[in-house]
């Protein structure tokens, strides 16, 4: 896989114990008013799109239970999704479908979805906090943070918006492909999903370049 060019404004930070003020407070104190967190969901799936979200939260807003979406139950994510959507200064999502993922590879597709999400914000942020080690192609200054969804409240909020949005999309896709329990496994390579693939073969929304879907 060809790695994308590093952006000049990238600052790669290794994860440390959770301290949400570690990354956000210095930016606010430097004069940043609108700080956006950016994250994606579905990168490791075998079917469906990769979905990214960008979220700007008001400075000082406290949302009880806010955390990395992977650490939360579905019920907790749904509750927090509604709270974030109402309280956020701005939220936006970006989506790259399965066929484009096959064409440009999943890393580039995830970064593209993030860029689309950022461009969809109704308020232009002064800085971006990106989950993961790779920056996106953008002129807005940004900080890429490994495991950022567990270290930044705005990235955690973005992870929830992205995850819930994608999960809902996969539930809708199950109606089109009822032989696949997308509402259960969301397109990940679970034992159930692999057994469905073995029995029925890939659908029109499967990522045909992915191991487990493509034929040896």
Residue the block writes with tokens 């990214």: 52
Residues 78, 157 contacting (CB under 8 angstroms): no
CA–CA separation, 131 and 108 (whole Å):
14
pLDDT band at 115 (very low <50, low <70, confident <90, very high): very high
pLDDT band at 216 (very low <50, low <70, confident <90, very high): low
Domain assignments of the chain as residue spans, ordered by start: 21-200
Nearest Cα to 18, choosing from 69, 73, 75, 67?
67
Instruction: Note the pLDDT tens digit of each residue in 48-95.
Output: 999 999 999 999 898 999 988 989 999 999 999 999 999 999 999 999
CA–CA separation, 37 and 17 (whole Å):
19
Average pLDDT, the chain: 91
Residues 109, 69 contacting (CB under 8 angstroms): no
pLDDT at residue number 15: 38
**CATH class of the domain at 21-200:** alpha beta
pLDDT band at 200 (very low <50, low <70, confident <90, very high): very high
pLDDT at residue number 22: 82
DSSP character at residue 124:
-
User: What phi and psi, each to the nearest 5 degrees, are found at residue 8?
Assistant: -60, -35
Q: Is residue 21's pLDDT more than 80?
A: no
pLDDT at residue number 3: 43
Q: Bigger pLDDT: 70 or 189?
A: 189
Residues 152, 160 contacting (CB under 8 angstroms): no
pLDDT at residue number 84: 97
As a whole number, mean pLDDT of residues 159-176 equals 98
Instruction: Note the pLDDT tens digit of each residue in 123-135.
Output: 999 999 999 999 9
Burial 10-38 (b: 16+ CB within 10 A, else e): beebeeeeeebeebbeebeeeebebbbbb
Nearest Cα to 155, choosing from 34, 90, 44, 66?
66
pLDDT at residue number 164: 98
């Amino acid at each position: 896989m060809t790695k994308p060019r590093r952006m000049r404004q990238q600052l790669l930070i290794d994860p440390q114990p959770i301290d949400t003020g570690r990354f956000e407070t210095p930016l606010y104190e430097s004069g940043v008013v609108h700080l956006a967190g950016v994250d994606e969901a579905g990168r490791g799936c075998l079917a469906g799109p990769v979905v990214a979200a960008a979220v700007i939260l008001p400075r000082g807003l406290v949302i009880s239970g806010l955390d990395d979406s992977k650490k939360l139950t579905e019920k907790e994510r749904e509750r927090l999704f509604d709270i974030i959507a109402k309280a956020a200064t701005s939220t936006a999502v970006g989506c790259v479908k399965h066929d484009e993922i096959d064409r440009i590879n999943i890393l580039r597709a995830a970064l593209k979805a993030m860029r689309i999400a950022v461009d969809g914000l109704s308020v232009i942020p002064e800085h971006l906090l990106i989950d993961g080690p790779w920056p996106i192609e953008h002129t807005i200054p940004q900080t890429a943070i490994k495991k950022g969804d567990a270290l930044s409240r705005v990235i955690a909020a973005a992870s929830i918006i992205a995850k819930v949005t994608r999960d809902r999309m996969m539930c809708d896709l199950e109606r089109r492909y009822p032989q696949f329990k997308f509402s259960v496994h969301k397109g990940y390579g679970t034992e159930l999903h692999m057994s469905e693939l073995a029995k029925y073969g890939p659908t029109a929304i499967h990522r045909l370049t992915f191991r487990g879907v493509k034929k040896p």
